[in-house]
Amino acid sequence: MGFNPKSLSNRNLSDYTGGCVRRTELLCGNSTAANQEKDRFWEIPNTRLPENPQSVAVGSAAECESSCLNNCSCTAYVYDTNGCSIWIGELINLEDGSGNTLYLRLAASEFPKRKSKKGIIIGAVVGSVAAVVLLGLVFVVIWKWQRSNGFAVC
């Protein structure tokens, strides 16, 4: 997700020692992207962290994420018992396997589109109104049927 091998000759290998490049450019600093979503993070659990982290003094995971988003060069972050660490530029020696969770920065377009809650709300309102109208029609039909068959109350 989000990356391709740098070298086309490595495309069919399971070894990406030549490195990888982004498929989609990040939106950070892009003035034409005003109406688009912000970059987001893909959670990679059970990761051996890459080399050369930079410590950032923050008080929470949300502040750590925000710190990375606000730095156009930030590629990933980790927030754990040791605090906040971010990576600038390439991730060197990122591997599976030691229990850490790394948050890799990707362009928002790399993620599936979020479903709109607006459509769900409109559907619920329309469905409710239709149910009330249908219930009213049933009562009117029953009332008229009772009057025409002599079942009027009085």
Residues 29-57 have pLDDT tens digits of 554 544 567 788 889 898 888 888 999 99
Q: At 46, is the secondary structure helix, strand, or coil?
A: strand
What Å distances lie between residue 47 and 44, 54, 88, 97, 108, CA to CA?
7, 17, 17, 5, 22
Phi, psi angles (nearest 5°) of residue 43? -80, 125
Q: What is the average pLDDT score of the chain?
A: 78
Token digits of residue 44: 């990679």
Residue 10 clears pLDDT 50, i.e. is over it:
no
Q: What is this structure's pTM? A: 0.59
Residue 23 clears pLDDT 90, i.e. is over it:
no
